[in-house]
Every structure is written in C-alpha cells, then in structure tokens.
Amino acid sequence: MTARKSGPKAGDSKSSELVIITGMSGSGKGTVLKAFEDLGYYAVDNLPIKLIPTFADLIGASANRFCAIVIDIREGESLQDFPSIYRQLKRQVPTHLLFLEAEDETLVRRFSETRRPHPLGTHRSVVKSIQAERKELEPIRPLADHVINTSKFNVHELREIIGEKFHGGRDAQSIGVYVTSFGFKHGIPTDSDLVFDVRFLPNPNYIPEFKNLTGRHPRVARYIRSFPQTVEFIDRISQLLVYLLPHYIGEGKSYLTISFGCTGGHHRSVMMAAEIRKRLGKAGYRVKESHRDIEK
C-alpha cells in the first residue's frame, strides 16, 4: 500500500469527498490515481477493504478531506465484502465509485507491452485471467457512479477526462467526442453511446473501381455524397448531435462515442464518420475520428 499526500485545491467549496477507483487490471487505475493527486486529493493505492470505513471516519477529522483510493482484484476474497462496505461508506461521507474497464484485446496488448504479469498469477494465460477478473468484478460494476472504458484513450486524454469530471469548471464545449466507423458483419463497437446504420446509402463496394478503395478516398466520398439522401442524412444527424451534446454535458458526461456502421466498414461508414467529425469540429467540439474495420 502506498499513499501520496497533496493539499486540496484552493477555492473548492466541498467539505469532503471520497473517490474509490476500481476496475480491470491494466485499465489505467494508476494513471487515474495520479490525476486525482494532481487535483489535490490524498491518494492511496491498494488500501485493504476492511480498513476503508476507518479511513472514511478519519476523513472528517483531517485537514485534507479530499481522498482517492484504489481497490482492485489484489484484495482477493475480501473483494466480496466491498458492495456492503460501499453502501455503508455512502452513509458516512460523500462517496463516488469510479469503475475503469477496457476491451479484452486492449488489456492483453497492454500487459504484453509492459511485460508485467496479471495480478491473478501466471498459472493461466492473460486472456483467462482477464476473463476471471471480469467475472469477479461483476457485482461491483453496477454500483459505479462513473464507468469509463479506457480502450481509446492515451494517458494524457485519461487524465484530462478525470480533471474535467471531478475538478469542474469546464465550458459547454469541453466534452470529448469520438466518431468511429465499423462494419456490422464484425459486430457493433461495445463502447458505442450512439449507433447509426448507414447501410441504406448506395454501396460503392459494387462499383469495381471503388471496391478496393475506402471512404477516405476523395472519389469514393464524392460518389457517396452525390446522392440526395446522403446530403440530407448528414444535415439531419449533424443538427441532432449539435442539439444533443449540450444535454449530455449537462448530465455530466465527459465523452461520447458515436458509431456509424455499414456492411464491411470500408466505404459508407468511413465517409460518414469523417464528415460528421468535420461538422462537429466546426461547431466547436473536440472530436477524434477512428475507423475500426477499415483494414479488415
């Protein structure tokens, strides 16, 4: 167990707050804990679960009443006691539960890059350990006030999200928007907040000169835009999203993933994702664009 102390930020009107960070190994809990420390929270990694109620009692008597702690699969069997302890904590002190997760393939890649063993041990594969951990955490995830899928974020983006969500003071355009394309035959992206099906648009795949190109190619994009239903769809969806985004911000959402799907994820969805990114960018939003299945 390690602890890092830093004073609360000046001007913060809250009297006390406890943030519990949990989730999948490799999902970025250490990065998030450091982000809280930078915000002025007393940061504790791997505090034994049975000590958390005592720790919560001390928060009220401490000069530093902003605390963030990490609990995770390293707790072993004690993790089963967390749901009941968490309900008790919420009666003691204002408490938020932040659950971090990521796609299996992302977690496997991260463990491979860092060459660190999974906390559940080396007696089974990393994939099997990830599956076992996900099952162990199933009773905890529904309790979370905030669930963040970190698959698409780098370290800097993840720290920025934490700063926006817990430090406040962000302006109306500060939500992070992620626009992605995909192919329905490969499955819908699991982290999608909004999904739009563009398979009703004419398919360039059936035109020989376009078949091996993608929606990024100017000629393909020009062909898709040449149909009136494409132009109308872009206009209507852009207007809808510009209307919706302030409402998502008002509900405290820090990022929104918008997915456009066609059959294979090569042409129509790629063109549409690129076009919507441009429209939302012009509206003043921070938008990132990705294409999940463009190389498949």
pLDDT given at position 89: 87
Report the alpha-carbon distance of residue 88 to residue 99 in Å, rounded.
18
Whether pLDDT at 25 is above 90: yes
Residue that the structure tokens 């009666």 belong to: 91
Name 261's bridge partners: 182, 197
Of 2-16, 54-68, 224-238, least confident by mean pLDDT is 2-16
Q: What percent of the chain has pLDDT over 90?
A: 56
Full domain range(s) for residue 270 = 176-291
Same domain, 249 and 137: no
Given strand 286-291, what is the order of strands in its sheet?
194-197, 255-262, 176-183, 286-291
Looking at 144, 167, 190, the residue that finishes a domain is 167
pLDDT given at position 63: 54
Same domain, 152 and 191: no
Closest CA to 291 of 280, 283, 272: 272
Report the alpha-carbon distance of residue 48 to residue 33 in Å, rounded.
16
CB 197 within 8 A of CB 272: no
Same domain, 102 and 191: no
Residues 44-103 have pLDDT tens digits of: 998 889 898 888 888 766 655 789 999 989 888 888 899 999 988 888 888 999 999 999
Written as six digits, the tokens of 61 are 């008597």
pLDDT given at position 173: 53
Same domain, 25 and 162: yes
Domain assignment present for residue 296? The answer is no
CB 100 within 8 A of CB 150: yes
In which band, very low, low, confident or very high, does the pLDDT at 235 lie, cut at 50, 70 and 90? very high
Looking at 105, 138, 167, the residue that finishes a domain is 167
Provide the number of structural domains found in the chain: 2
Same domain, 93 and 183: no
What is the dihedral sign for C-alpha 20, 22, 27, 30? positive
If DSSP codes are grouped into helix, strand and coil, which group holds residue 164? helix
Q: What is the pTM of this model?
A: 0.63
Report the alpha-carbon distance of residue 27 to residue 151 in Å, rounded.
8
Residues 216-226 have pLDDT tens digits of: 999 999 999 99
Looking at 117, 144, 167, the residue that finishes a domain is 167
